Amino acid sequence: MSPTIDTKTAVQHDLPTPDPESPLRPRQPYRLSTLCVTVENPSMKDQYGSSSVPIYQSATFKGVGNEYDYSRSGNPTRSHLEHHIAKISSAARAFAVSSGMAALDVILRLLKPGDEVIAGDDLYGGTNRLLTFIRTHVGVTVHHVDTTDPNAVIPFIHPTKTAMVLLESPTNPLLKIADLALISKEVKERAPNAIVVVDNTMMSPYLQRPLEHGADIVYDSATKYLSGHHDLMAGLITCNRDDLAKQIAFTINSVGNALTPIDCFLLLRGVKTMAVRMDRQQTTAQLVATYLHGLGFKVHYPGLPDHPGRDIHQRIADGNGAVLSFETGDKEMSEKIVGGTRLWGISVSFGCVNSLISMPCVMSHASIDPATRAARGLPEDLIRLCVGIEDASDLLDDLEHALVDAGAIALSAQQNKYVRVQPGHAALNKAVEQLAVGSSSQTVEQEWFVSAPGKVILFGEHAVVHGVTAIAAAVDLRCYGLVTPRNDGKLSVRFNDIDNFYAEWDIESLPWDASVVLGHNERHPEDLDQPLIDALHTGPLKELGVEKAQARNAALAFLYMYIKLSSAQRPSVHFAARSTLPVGAGLGSSASFSACAATTLLLLSERIVIPSIPAPISADHPHLSHHGRYALERHSAEEANRWAFIAEKILHGNPSGVDNSVAVFGGALTYNRPGFGKPSGMTSIQGFGSLRFLLTNSKVPRDTKKLVAGVGLMKQEQPEVVGAILDAIENISSQAKRSLADSSEFGRDNLLRDLSAMINQNHKYLVSLGVSHPSLEKIREKTAAPPYNLSTKLTGAGGGGCAVTLIPDNFSDSAMKDLLAELSECGFDPYLTSVGGSGLGVLSPYAEHRNPSANSGVANQGQVTPPETPGEGAGSPDLDNSLRVSFEFQPVSELSEWASDLGTWLYV
């Protein structure tokens, strides 16, 4: 028969040491976190077995000679609490009073006139105030000494006069450590009648139990960690000595400051979660202390390796607590930081589940006069942080914002992190970010060369703006972006493809003040910063007339991102963009331009970084597999895509995001815009790469922004008609997605036949949306005519631009030649393209990856014209080694080959 456990007997076992279950396997005493949550008092069983201690909200109790008669003297809820507190404090007796100060008051009433008290010099302001009162009103002498140094205490210990030594460890707010054990021992030896009293509020019994280290009385402001929610005031006194307990009980009863029943209940409830709260709070406190310390602030926290007294603390306490303080070196700056946080509440006190920030000298310690504060080494600029249970990242983020806003830290481009701004430079704040060697903009040493593909949309253009699935793929035509240092305080751009446009600006003349500054890790909000756009139009772009709309828009997108991404460094650079794509022809030139501009600026501001070169697996194993594909990290690609989308918003008005996603991620994908109540994002399609397409540029200029807006208006005016068209296009995209996914089962011929039919169908719907053009219809007509019999649709925004024609596998070379000739005769530009290639790429910055034999100089020297604008590029320190001239003057037909010859490209 298996042994049965007599639960009734088990329940009656007193805590914390239940009887052993067997002599061979003795049970351990419960750990403190178990004790905290286990509120049981075997001698006070509840008559109904209530799970939580009832509130005996009664001033009096009936009867004579019973245990309770009047709540000032005793109350059952309070007895429960006191029993529980004694249990978790290694104490024989505990008393609950109305506040921490009430607890100290009760303790100080043990003193008589003529007694001497030794107290710390870094005490809580309230403690200090009460000590001053008893000094002046009771005739007690108080010696304030540095209790963190036992040698400073010893000379003040008088064998008969010293009646009390008042200690606190760690001290508040400087977190100084007192060796409670050593001082208790010294006091006992030198003044046997003196009592050692410890204020344990900073630690709570969970982390430190000074009675175990020789203290006679310990008190806690239970308003702090014990209750944990700043919803009650309470003080606790614990001791192991009967004589002291009797006197304390007498005082509490006489004075009438015992804790009320409801507060006893709340406090008991709080204590149950104390261990989990404190664990979380001190873990985060360690992170915060490490963060501030890493920035270069003087931080006071026993968890830091260089904290004085750390070893002593570790011997006495079980943790470092959740209060820390740090110095900024400037009181005004500290005030700004304290006022600048949102999550950290400005409040006195500590120990709450919510994080608090304060300046002790103007708040909790304001009752100590400034001279005394100075004498005790309490810095006026000290900020105290009391860490709560919020998400650590949110707390750090909030603090970082406040530090940045107050000018206490600034972004270091070299180190790619925030660093402390030395006090005195604080007033420069924003300017500090611009501080550079010799000029207000930062010196840049490196060139960055990037590229991104254009795209062809096979199904779903326009409809994708309104939530329909689009299917698109990267084409083998790309935009290239090159950023070159100038270092003369100027910023310049050249857009070769747009009338060889060139402009330059003094960096300081840019409208910095119009921009809402983003933190280093902060995302751009969904909406564009319209005041910045307006300021760019009326400022740096003012000179450009309406006829330069294309260049104006491209410059606007670039300057907008430059201001948003570079406000900390303001690098003096030249940005050049060139494309092998036709600009404004529906092949996503704007998205690939946007991806290039965004990526160069992200690299310059070090918001994205190129991963270090992996060690070769073996001498003959190449560093980079897949021709550099997947060498750029996913999160860098996502960041580049987010910023490319911002630029697209400037260029396009209401982009769906499909173009920039293809420009960054490459390949072929289905794309759904978020915000339409269905799954959004992209999925890659494998079968697309084998398809052949002919792209024919009608060369009819059009404006994507206007075309997209036109469809939007039509949808507003005829919601049902447009809604039905959108549904039909969704059907086509979904079917195409399935066919492409199943192409192996489905059969190649069937796939091509189906796709052809869907291309024709999709085009018809685009015609009904009003985005075709006679030139596009002519291309369709030519390609559909015998002997070609091909299917063609507009691609991209339509209204002109390009048409895409699907080329079946069996389409002969001679037919292709004829078709190309025919289209060219009509004045169109046909391109045979392959799709599904790489997305965003960065020319590897590592010397090992550069091709030493590459002709980085100008191809076909004879054809090259040197820069026309006098002085243009004068700021470039080292044009000989720069790619700039070669890049800008390379014939477009050779651009792609020249770029790939330069070295290894790292792709998304």
Ligand X SMILES: C[C@@](O)(CCO)CC(=O)[O-]
How would you list the strands of the sheet with 692-697, edge to edge? 792-794, 802-807, 692-697, 829-834
Residue 697 found at the interface with ligand X (CB under 6 A): no
Nearest distance from residue 457's CB to ligand X, in Å?
A: 6
Catalytic annotation present for 748: no
> Residue 652 interacts with ligand X (CB under 6 A)?
yes
Rule CB under 6 A: say whether 644 interacts with ligand X: no
Please say if 72 is a catalytic residue: yes
**Does the footprint of ligand ATP cover residue 659 (CB under 6 A)?**
yes
Give the separation between CA 299 and CA 277, rounded to whole angstroms: 23
The residue among 802, 801, 591 whose CA lies nearest residue 695 is 802
| Binds ligand ATP (CB under 6 A): choice among 593, 643, 645, 907 | 593
- Give the distance, in angstroms, between the CA of residue 638 and the centroid of all CA atoms in the same chain: 15
CB 602 within 8 A of CB 562: no
Amino acid at 374: A
Q: Which of 712, 711, 727 lies closest to 770 in space, CA to CA?
A: 711
Does the footprint of ligand X cover residue 88 (CB under 6 A)? no
Ranges within 793-812 binding ligand X (CB under 6 A): 796-797
Select 606 or 659, whichever has its Cβ closest to ligand ATP.
659
Residue 464 binding target from ligand ATP, ligand X, none, CB below 5 to 8 Å by type: ligand X
- Site membership for ligand ATP, residue 584 (CB under 6 A): yes
In the block, which residue shows the tokens 């792209």? 695
Which of ligand X, ligand ATP, none sits in contact with 585, Cβ below 5 to 8 A by type? ligand ATP
843 binding ligand X? (CB under 6 A): no
User: Could you tell which of ligand ATP, ligand X, none binds residue 806, using a CB distance below 5 to 8 A set by kind?
Assistant: none
Work out the number of other CB atoms within 10 angstroms of the CB of residue 273.
Answer: 17
What is the residue whose two structure tokens read 């006191």? 82
Report 451-480 residues binding ligand ATP (CB under 6 A): 479
In three-state secondary structure terms, 751 is: helix
Closest to ligand X by CB, 214 or 770: 770
Binding residue (CB under 6 A) for ligand X from 553, 672, 704, 761:
704
Catalytic residue among 72, 280, 699, 753: 72
Interface pattern 706-745 for ligand X (x via CB under 6 A): --x-------------------------------------
Give exposure, 616-653, as e/b (b: 16+ Cβ within 10 Å): eeeeeeebbeeebbebbeeebbebbbbbbbbbbbbbbb
Closest CA to 318 of 3, 648, 33, 603: 33
List 462, 466, 494, 629, residue binding ligand X (CB under 6 A): 462
The DSSP element (H or E) to which 490 belongs, if any, is strand 490-495
Judged by CB under 6 A, which stretch of 38-46, 134-142, 219-227, 495-503 contacts ligand ATP?
495-503
Helix then strand count (H, E) for the chain reads 29, 27
What torsion do the CA atoms of 236, 242, 244, 245 make, to the nearest 10 degrees? 30
Stretch that binds ligand ATP, among 242-250, 490-498, 632-640, 883-891 (CB under 6 A): 490-498
Q: Which partner from the list ligand X, ligand ATP, none does 651 bind, CB cut-off 5 to 8 Å by kind? A: ligand ATP
Choose, by CB under 6 A, the member of 71, 169, 579, 661 that binds ligand ATP. Answer: 579
Which parts of 664-716 are beta strand (E)? 668-672, 681-684, 692-697
Query: By CB under 6 A, is residue 76 in contact with ligand X?
Result: no
Residue from 178, 386, 498, 752 touching ligand ATP (CB under 6 A): that is 498
User: Which one, 292 or 591, has the nearer CB to ligand ATP?
Assistant: 591
Q: Can you list the alpha helix ranges (DSSP code H) found in 800-883?
A: 813-825
Selected binder of ligand ATP within 449, 495, 512, 562 (CB under 6 A): 495
| 461 contacts ligand X (rule: CB under 6 A) | yes
Of positions 659, 730, 754, 888, contacts ligand X by CB under 6 A? 659
- 465 counts as binding ligand X under rule CB under 6 A: yes
Q: For the chain, state the CA radius of gyration.
A: 38
Q: Minimum Å distance from CB 724 to ligand ATP?
A: 24
Instruction: Copy the structure tokens of residue 771.
Output: 């985005």
Stretch 744-803 residues interacting with ligand ATP (CB under 6 A): 796-797
List the structure tokens of 425: 């430079």
Tell which residue, 443, 412, 407, has the closest CA to residue 425.
407
Q: What is the 3-state secondary structure (H, E, C) of 64-92?
A: CCCCCCECCCCCHHHHHHHHHHHHHCCCC
Q: Does 588 bind ligand ATP (CB under 6 A)?
A: yes
**Contacts (Cβ under 8 Å, ≥6 apart) of 48:** none
Catalytic residue among 224, 486, 552, 737, which?
224
Measured CA to CA, the distance from residue 489 to residue 875 in angstroms comes to: 8
Comparing CB distances to ligand ATP, the nearer of 373 and 652 is 652
Q: Please tell me whether residue 536 binds ligand X under the rule CB under 6 A.
A: no
Nearer to ligand ATP, 550 or 886 (CB): 550
Least separation in angstroms between residue 407's CB and ligand ATP is 37
Q: Which is nearer to ligand X, 465 or 751 (CB)?
A: 465
The CA dihedral of 160, 164, 167, 172, to the nearest 10 degrees, is -130
Q: Please state the separation of Cα 772 from the chain's center in Å.
A: 45
C-alpha to C-alpha distances, 552 to 493, 502, 653, nearest whole angstrom: 11, 11, 15
Instruction: Report d(CA 409, CA 519) in Å as an integer.
Output: 11
Distance CA 869, CA 502 (A): 9
Of the candidates 124, 219, 562, 671, the residue annotated as catalytic is: 124
Nearest approach in angstroms of CB 542 to ligand ATP is 17
For ligand ATP, which residue of 497, 529, 639, 730 counts as binding (CB under 6 A)? 497
Q: Are strands 323-327 and 298-300 parallel, antiparallel or unpaired?
A: antiparallel
Q: Which stretch binds ligand ATP (CB under 6 A): 29-37, 231-239, 324-332, 576-584?
A: 576-584
Separation of alpha carbons 32 and 88, rounded Å = 7
209 catalytic residue (yes or no): no
658 contacts ligand X (rule: CB under 6 A): yes
Q: Is 453 in the site for ligand X (CB under 6 A)?
A: no
Q: Could you give the CA distance from residue 410 to residue 781 in angstroms, rounded to a whole number?
A: 61
Residue 31: partners with Cβ closer than 8 Å, 6 or more residues away: none
337 binds, among ligand ATP, ligand X, none (CB under 5 to 8 A by kind): none
Neighbours of 542 (CB within 10 A): 9
Task: Choose among ligand X, ligand ATP, none what residue 589 binds, the Cβ cut-off being 5 to 8 Å by kind.
Answer: ligand ATP
Please report how close the Cβ of residue 640 comes to ligand X at its closest, in angstroms: 17
Catalytic machinery residues? 72, 124, 199, 224
- Which residues contact ligand X (rule: CB under 6 A)? 457, 461-462, 464-465, 588, 652, 655-656, 658-659, 704, 708, 796-797
- Which residues contact ligand ATP (rule: CB under 6 A)? 479, 495, 497-498, 550, 553-554, 577-579, 583-591, 593, 651-652, 659, 703-704, 796-797
